[in-house]
């Protein structure tokens, strides 16, 4: 069993407990990382391109996104909190998926306490495609909390990979540990129709997706390398303490909470229609098939739909092409900035069902 070391990143001690092991990782430049991943020499979870602070003009896009979208995010956080309470009447234990889920989990914990008089524990854990959820972290949580209180939280779905990985991981956990946990994912917005509970299905700009560690408690995305971690360790992460003076993690939370307070002080009688998950899944699958055929993409792994996923590609992968529904849209200004900075071609595709789709550059080996 892993030994829990208190680790809250740059958040307040009661905001979140990262079940991650801070490690030192070598810097793998993006191009080299892409070559190692696509050639099969290493899995993406073993590699990390070190982060740098965003440039001032890019940071300005984050603040613009906050001004434009913070009320929308706040409304969805409040709605998601309501839906959590409706499905977890016997208590709430938030398990956010590092790292896009972490700021959402921090917000939900505060909203549940401030507006619903509910104390929720909050852990942030690693989940990696093909590797799965961190079993040591999961073992720690189920030893300390009732299974019926667990709520898995992420920011959004793109094409549903993490939702399906969560389901597969929990099925494996049931076999290995004899503990059955429902594979229910809760998100702010569900593009692919794979979340169990969502506040929205809109492809909109959640401002936290624009930045990396400086809006996520100064924590990197999670890593898993057996050579650096023991059998009982939690998955790893890099803690960017050197970015402390530039950290916006608590600013993001405070701004959204202020908006939630404003919303909750108003009338609470707006109906929220249930999402049509089957229709969302149909749209998602049709898009993947269409893009794969039109652009000769060999695997859906190289297609990243939605603003959030497209942003991730341009921040930390080798991008081949950025498709935008509207070149003049405010929602994707940061994507245009990133594409120009990295010399990534951009095409306008007005019939996209989402604001953006990014394609990862495929490297071919003889």
Q: Is residue 9 part of a domain?
A: no
Q: Is residue 269 part of a domain?
A: no
Is-contact 77 107, C-beta < 8 A?
yes
Q: Is the pTM of this model over 0.85?
A: yes
Same domain, 27 and 53: yes
Q: Is residue 183 part of a domain?
A: yes
Q: Average pLDDT of the chain? A: 94
Which of the listed residues 230, 264, 298 is the one where a domain comes to its end? 264
| Per-residue confidence band for 2, with pLDDT thresholds at 50, 70 and 90 | very low
CA distances from 358 to 15, 244, 256, 306 (A): 33, 31, 28, 8
Which of the listed residues 224, 242, 264 is the one where a domain comes to its end? 264
Number of domains in the chain: 2
Same domain, 28 and 132: yes
Q: Is residue 365 part of a domain?
A: no
Domain region containing 120: 17-264
Reading across the β-sheet that carries 356-360, which strands appear in turn?
A: 303-305, 356-360, 319-324, 346-348
Instruction: Extract the tokens encoding 81.
Output: 């909190």
Residue 188 CA to residue 203 CA, distance in Å, equals: 10
Same domain, 75 and 169: yes
CATH value at residue 336: 3.30.1330.30
Q: Is residue 8 part of a domain?
A: no
Same domain, 93 and 167: yes
Q: What are phi and psi of 171, to 5 degrees?
A: -65, -45
Q: Mind listing the pLDDT tens digit for each residue in 10-33? A: 999 999 999 999 999 999 998 899
Same domain, 291 and 252: no
Same domain, 50 and 138: yes
**pLDDT value at 365 more than 60:** no
Instruction: Extract the tokens encoding 265.
Output: 């002080």
Same domain, 220 and 301: no
- The pLDDT assigned to 250 comes to 98
| Per-residue confidence band for 317, with pLDDT thresholds at 50, 70 and 90 | very high
- Please name the residues in contact with 204: beta carbons below 8 A apart, sequence gap of 6 or more: 69, 72, 189, 307, 331, 355
Q: Is residue 130 part of a domain?
A: yes
Which of the listed residues 229, 264, 299 is the one where a domain comes to its end? 264
Same domain, 221 and 356: no
Among candidates 211, 275, 267, which has minimal Cα distance to 75?
Answer: 267
Q: Is residue 49 part of a domain?
A: yes
Stretch 78-98: mean pLDDT: 96
Same domain, 154 and 284: no
From its phi and psi, is residue 172 left (phi > 0), alpha (psi between -120 and 50) or beta?
A: alpha
Stretch 163-184: mean pLDDT: 96
Same domain, 254 and 346: no
Same domain, 200 and 316: no
Q: Mind listing the pLDDT tens digit for each residue in 112-132? A: 999 999 999 999 999 999 999
Q: Mind listing the pLDDT tens digit for each residue in 273-298? A: 789 999 999 999 999 999 999 999 99
- In 3-state terms, what secondary structure has residue 82? helix
- The pLDDT assigned to 51 comes to 96
Same domain, 94 and 127: yes
Tokens 């997706």, residue located: 209
Q: Is residue 86 part of a domain?
A: yes
């Amino acid at each position: 069993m892993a030994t829990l070391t208190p680790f809250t990143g740059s958040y307040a001690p009661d905001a979140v407990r990262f079940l991650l092991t801070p490690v030192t990782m070598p810097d793998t430049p993006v191009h080299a990382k892409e070559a190692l991943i696509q050639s099969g020499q290493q899995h993406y979870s073993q590699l990390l391109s070190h982060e740098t602070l965003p440039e001032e003009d890019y940071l300005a896009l984050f603040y613009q996104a906050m001004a434009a979208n913070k009320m929308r995010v706040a409304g969805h956080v409040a709605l998601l909190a309501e839906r959590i309470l409706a499905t977890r009447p016997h208590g709430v234990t938030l398990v956010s998926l590092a790292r896009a889920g972490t700021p959402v989990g921090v917000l939900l914990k505060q909203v549940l306490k401030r507006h619903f008089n509910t104390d929720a524990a909050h852990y942030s854990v690693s989940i990696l495609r093909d590797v799965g959820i961190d079993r040591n972290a999961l073992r720690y949580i189920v030893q300390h909390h009732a299974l019926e209180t667990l709520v898995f939280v992420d920011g959004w779905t793109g094409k549903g990979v993490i939702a399906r990985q969560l389901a597969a991981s929990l099925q494996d956990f049931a076999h290995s540990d004899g503990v059955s946990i429902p594979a229910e994912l809760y998100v702010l917005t569900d593009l692919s129709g794979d979340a169990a509970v969502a506040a929205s299905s809109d492809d909109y700009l959640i401002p936290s997706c624009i930045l990396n560690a400086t809006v996520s408690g100064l924590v990197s995305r999670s890593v898993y390398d057996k050579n650096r971690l023991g059998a009982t360790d939690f998955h790893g992460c890099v803690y960017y303490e050197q970015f402390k003076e530039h950290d916006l993690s608590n600013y993001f939370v405070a701004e959204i909470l202020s908006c939630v307070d404003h919303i909750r002080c108003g009338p609470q009688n707006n109906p929220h229609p249930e999402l049509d998950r089957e229709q969302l899944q149909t749209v998602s699958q049709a898009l993947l098939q269409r893009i794969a055929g039109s652009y000769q993409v060999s695997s859906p792994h190289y297609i990243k739909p939605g603003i959030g996923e497209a942003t991730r590609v341009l921040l930390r992968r080798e991008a081949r092409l950025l498709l935008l529904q509207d070149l003049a849209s405010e929602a994707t200004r940061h994507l245009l900035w990133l594409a120009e900075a990295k010399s990534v071609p951009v095409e306008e595709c007005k019939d996209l069902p989402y604001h953006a789709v990014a394609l990862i550059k495929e490297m071919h080996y003889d």
